[in-house]
Amino acid sequence: MTGLALEIRGLDLMLDPLGRRLHVVRSLDLELRRGEVLGLIGESGSGKTMTGLSLLRLEPEGARLTAEIMRAGEADLLQSEEAELRALRGRAVGMIFQDPVGAFNPAKRIAWHARQVLVRRGIADWRPAAERLLAEVDIADTARVLGAYPHQLSGGMLQRTLIALVLAANPAVVVADEPTTNLDNIVEQQILRLFRRLRQTEDAAFLFITHDMTVAASLCDRIAVMYAGEVVEIGTTAQLFEDPLHPYTAALIATARALEGEAERLPELPGEPPSIAEPRTGCAFASRCARRLEGCTLAPVPMIPLEGGRRVRCLLHG
């Protein structure tokens, strides 16, 4: 027993669409304690969602997933039996999505969804349990919500409902994949407030995937920055914001500050991330990095452990 809610060591995910091998997650290490919120931040295509789906072992068909360790609570996620994995889904790791409307079966009422989840958990008398769960995510009119079809409810209401259904199974880890991106600003604030409260009351640890540094800063204890399939820096939110070590982290934070009006001009990062299809020799960020060293493009850069549990994948700090 490690006491960790989530432990990942050396996760690699290789997709194979039409014979083109895409290395979408590369030697990824993450750990999460109970009650902790870890932000996983990065731009589109950096491998955040694929990391989340890997935790549920819902990687795309034909993908090759390898890892030294991948555990959630007591459960070993490196099983190969589909039946075992199915039993773990929802219970060991739950997941909330970006588009709450799309996450529900459009042909069925909310009550149907609640019944499926709760009866599966062995709660035969599901209706009072469902009302209790919805009340916990601040839904007042539980009877109306249960009787409604998904299209009759707002995005914020559906996201709350989905959170309630996911938490119903008491998962060790909840992956929240950009859960507020599709919501308007006021609803986003409400959902973030809900997360802040749930982290106190629930046993679960949260992996909060986002591309929004501001959102991550307002919610997360620690932040892991992903770039082109790799975690390039991980540390506490305060560490990252006060003293970003990786040039990419520094660029992200500069942009976030600029968007909040703390800078005159919006800083721009020249270039594009490297292709995930091509083999990589050195640091993924090297081509865009202003502080590139000679060694950066010669060999893969390892994750360098620093004081206070901080890690960075950058030769400037080796």
Interface ranges with other proteins (CB under 8 A): 53, 56, 58, 82, 86-91, 94-95, 97, 99, 102-108, 116-117, 120, 149, 151, 162, 165-166, 169
Could you please report the per-residue DSSP string of 203-267? S-EEEEEES-HHHHHHH-SEEEEEETTEEEEEEEHHHHHH---SHHHHHHHHHHHHHTT-SSS--
Supply 282's token pair: 């050195």
Three-class SS state of 286? helix
Residue 240 one-letter amino acid: L
For other proteins, the closer CB: 153 or 256: 153
How far, CA to CA in Å, does 212 sit from each of 9, 20, 136, 299? 26, 30, 26, 31
Distance of alpha carbon 18 from alpha carbon 12, whole angstroms:
19
Nearer to other proteins, 207 or 252 (CB): 207
Distance CA 142, CA 220 (A): 30
Closest to other proteins by CB, 96 vs 198, is: 96
Shortest Cβ distance from residue 166 to other proteins (Å)? 8
Q: Of the two residues 73 and 244, which places its CB atom closer to other proteins in the complex?
A: 73
Nearest distance in Å: CB 147, other proteins: 12
For other proteins, the closer of residues 86 and 132 by Cβ is: 86
Which of 272, 266, 245 minimizes the C-alpha distance to 254?
Answer: 266
- Phi/psi for 93 (5° steps) reads -130, 130
Q: Which is nearer to other proteins, 53 or 245 (CB)?
A: 53
Collapse the DSSP code of 77 into the 3-class scheme (helix H, G, I; strand E, B; otherwise coil) and give the result: coil
CA distance 94 to 168: 10
